[in-house]
A and B are shown apart, each in its own frame.
Chain A
């Protein structure tokens, strides 16, 4: 079995009495977009800091391409690009100067640097603002440049820490497009967010973090499968015979609520709905009210942690 592109093994990080990360383990395969979903304070940024060589773990190990990641390892840093949660740009430099500066720090110079800078400016939609100082940019433009700076040295692993916080929809779409494009070119990405929709839209696998722990880690469908769907309905007339037949529906559990509201909990909502309709037709009953609730990440998070994602 080949080693994963990124391996995080039993990583813990303690700040004095505070345990910021508690034995977190997961793998990321090459070419994958891995999402880390969790509320503020869940430990996502600490984890990314460890993966990007900014911090050392208190215990555990991170490996990239089978090689241990350590703050003192300068070579491995060239493989990693990080988009910090806070904007990390020199506001008195132009967009082009920011990109060139960080490119030069990674040893890229001359025509190659100029070529890369041009390409990145085009990709993030800031070609016409190349020579404007960053302080004149809107929040969304700064976010895009923040992403561009992390790409200038051509990393193989890109770590994005809440890259869309406080941006306008246009810039958010630009960032999404860029993430997809980069992934399409084979880049591996770790994307943290507390926006469920973003993670759902971009990531092939998702780790759910809360209070420093990795509560779950899987593909989206498999995460959703851990929760039942719910069909709420009223029928007229609700005869005892109908009630008995509803209880016998396969892979479904009938609950009765107040006001003759019935609730079917089922692992496959679509299949259960087809069965329900067929039964009602056979019994000559009419559907007076119907409400379907399918599982989503929000509910998965609530189920796993006992609290809302945006608490």
Chain B
């Protein structure tokens, strides 16, 4: 045991005194994560969402058509039910302003505090608000603003058109419905009675002493001066007009105050009929702390660089052979097992140390979580450490396998470099699996990197409440451990100390 500890100390000392090795193992991965983290978009690694994203800020104070529902919510629902649109609700005005200022969003719809009040006053009547003009709806008349990014005029124009159509779908049925209701109002019957002038048949002219009579006078005569009956007749006229119009335009429900009701169309559940709260996925601060993209970048580069151990271990082993110290080790009272263990143990320790360093740095610098927030740190570590150990075991196995076959630094660079880079690309460490064509994604699982990524993403890539899938973790750990053991077996088989 003492002998192995002596060998381990020596190996670690050599690596820690090699600035290139340190750079490759500890600094370069962080630089990669940082550089990619600063330049890739928030949606990096996720399935691309081709839907038009419409964001809104809702300051509307209500009330709307139904109790407890402001008009703005009706507009939001209408937007959300529009196919091909993703609706996101921004909670804070500052976020909305920032998104426009930083050109992250082409346009943001802002419902002012008086939106519902304005809509309630919209009417075809002279004293109501007429929100319409030739091209659509006057936004300013209904306390709506559309904040636009001047650098994205086309997308902003598209968003504006979509918003205009939604507003029309909400406001127009409401105004038509209200107008239809007004047909039975006494004021309307009075108006109708005054406007409709009917000819009096000749045999009754002597009674009426006029050739024409207004509808209002006829209704008055019919009631015999009884105000109650007059009101009843007026209502009957109003109801009759409404019924006649309803019959005449029976394809429409003129009483309905929503678009679906007006057009008598069945309510359809549409894709994306959901308003999602806006969430800052980009992260905050100069390092974009907490950005969604780190959930992809950190596992990718941690796994990629853990397997760079292949190169470091290979070089150390070849250097041992080249500088003749391997011959001295052979001359010392050591067994082959001592020498192998003396190489394996520091490799594993180095790999685990490298991974833990990167994970701690990623948590600290980029806000990457190690598991669900409701897990205590001990539980997060209890799941994370087996993944770290199994990945390092696989990396160590491959490292010693390459080291056992290579006879020169150049061979290590060729065999190891090809192996590490090709497996990293195929395994999804350069291009996330989600961005690959679906029918080729399975190829990633032909590499240890692919399995390691599965495990790390399960823990590092979820949302705060995501519960990692234990089966995926156990399966990945099992495969990685098997790769490690198999590679070590091959290393033992190929290793020639003389």
Contact = CB atoms under 8 A, between A and B. Distances in A.
- Listed residue (A52, A90, A104, A105) with the most chain B CB atoms within 10 angstroms of its CB: A105
A160 to B, nearest CB: 13
B10 A93 contact: yes
B19 to A, nearest CB: 10
Contacts of A97: 13
Contacts of B330: 53-54
A84 B2 contact: no
B328 A88 contact: yes
A89 to B, nearest CB: 7
Contacts of A133: 17
Given A90-B14, A93-B14, A105-B3, A74 B325 contact: no
B328 A104 contact: no
Nearest to B15: A92
Nearest to A135: B17
B333 A106 contact: yes
B13 A93 contact: yes
Nearest to A71: B330
A156 to B, nearest CB: 14
Contacts of B2: 104, 107, 109
B50 interface: no
Contacts of A26: none
Contact of B329 (A75, A87, A105, A107): A105
A77 B333 contact: yes
User: Interface on chain B toward A: helix, strand, loop, or mixed SS?
Assistant: helix
Nearest to A153: B332
Interface in A126-162: 133, 149
Contact of A89 (B6, B323, B333, B498): B323
A252 B3 CA distance: 65
Contact of A74 (B10, B18, B328, B333): B333
Interface residues of A, number: 29
B328 A92 contact: no
Contacts of B327: 54, 84, 88
A86 to B, nearest CB: 4
A78 B324 contact: no
Given A54-B327, A84-B328, A105-B6, A92 B18 contact: yes
B325 A88 contact: yes
A133 B17 CA distance: 11
Given A87-B323, A109-B2, A82 B333 contact: no
- Listed residue (A52, A86, A104) with the most chain B CB atoms within 10 angstroms of its CB: A104
A55 interface: yes
Interface in A44-99: 52-55, 74-75, 77-78, 80, 82, 84, 86-93, 97
B331 to A, nearest CB: 5
A144 B13 CA distance: 23
Interface of A: 52-55, 74-75, 77-78, 80, 82, 84, 86-93, 97, 101-102, 104-107, 109, 133, 149
Nearest first, the 3 A-B pairs at minimum CB distance are A88-B324, A74-B333, A104-B6
Given A90-B323, A92-B14, A107-B333, 8 more contacts: A54-B331, A82-B328, A82-B331, A86-B323, A89-B325, A101-B6, A105-B7, A149-B328
